């Protein structure tokens, strides 16, 4: 079975600060990795995804994530956050041989950016 | 907007009752999954439907059941509601392409069991 851990439950930053949110997963096989964001009152949206190839993945709104296979990690980063980045962020995985969207999510990190 | 629509948006039910939640998938998407998101937690996979059959299930009891229709829309049914069933229920659709299992989520149905 897969599991996902997000170590930071709440993060508070000032605008222009750098962001790194941790994500570690547990699974013995090959996985696809995702970061989703949930803005207040809105649906879950995909920020970025990793299937294969370059382990540094760039997503929307200036976010990027790095897949480190040896550490089973997929940390999310942004060099300079904005107030509009206030949201909840979820890391998710699914096994490479699973079709569709059978995702295992982490518990989420709630980010608050102070103006 | 993702094109995935869920109804109703909010619902209050009494313990022991039954509830049906509905989801219309994004155009062209033939796979639908349901997730339960309890307050303060990440979404938990309930089950997935493809071609009107369940083809994957998470750790949820049989009183959680579903349907998928020929137009790929879907229902989630929960029998014998318990207080712990109070949560946001999310529907996600995706095309049946293993290389691109990107899920598109609806806004969810907030179920409160009292």
Q: Identify which of B33, B43, B107 has the shortest CB distance to residue A100.
A: B33
Average pLDDT estimate for A2-16: 94
pLDDT tens-digit map of B38-56: 998 999 999 999 889 998 8
Give the nearest chain A residue to B33 (CA atoms): A101
* Tokens linked to A115: 């103006």
Residues in chain A with CB shorter than 8 Å from the CB of B28 are: none
> What torsion do the CA atoms of B44, B33, B81, A43 make, to the nearest 10 degrees?
70
pLDDT tens-digit map of A35-51: 999 998 899 999 999 98
Q: Looking at CA atoms only, how far is residue B35 from chain A in angstroms?
A: 9
Q: What's chain A's length in residues?
A: 115
How would you label B53-92 residue by residue, b for 16+ Cβ within 10 Å and e otherwise? eebbebeeeeebbbebeeebbbbbebeebeeebbbbbbbb
Q: Looking at CA atoms only, how far is residue B40 from chain A in angstroms?
A: 8
Handedness of CA A22, B59, B41, B22 (dihedral sign): positive
Sorting pLDDT into bands at 50, 70 and 90, what band is A15?
A: very high
CB contact under 8 A, B43 and A44: yes
- Alpha-carbon span B91 to B93, nearest angstrom: 7
């Amino acid at each position: 079975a897969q599991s996902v851990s997000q170590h930071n439950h709440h993060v508070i930053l000032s605008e222009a600060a750098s962001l790194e949110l941790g994500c570690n997963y547990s699974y013995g096989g090959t996985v696809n990795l995702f970061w989703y964001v949930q803005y207040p009152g809105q649906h879950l949206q995909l920020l970025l995804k990793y299937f294969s190839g370059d382990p540094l993945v760039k997503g929307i709104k200036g976010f990027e994530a790095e897949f480190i296979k040896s550490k089973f990690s997929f940390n999310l980063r942004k060099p300079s956050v904005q107030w509009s980045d206030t949201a909840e962020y979820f890391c998710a995985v699914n096994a490479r041989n699973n079709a569709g969207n059978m995702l295992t999510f982490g518990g989420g990190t709630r980010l608050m950016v102070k103006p | 907007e993702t094109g995935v629509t869920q109804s109703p948006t909010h619902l209050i039910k009494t313990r022991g009752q039954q509830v049906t939640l509905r989801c219309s998938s994004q155009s062209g998407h033939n796979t639908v999954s349901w997730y339960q998101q309890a307050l303060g937690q990440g979404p938990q996979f309930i089950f997935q439907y493809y071609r009107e059959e369940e083809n994957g299930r998470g750790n949820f009891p049989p009183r959680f059941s579903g349907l998928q229709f020929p137009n790929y829309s879907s229902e989630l049914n929960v029998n014998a509601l318990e207080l712990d069933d109070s949560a946001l229920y999310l529907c996600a659709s995706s095309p049946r392409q293993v290389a691109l299992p990107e899920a598109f989520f609806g806004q969810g149905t907030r179920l409160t069991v009292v």
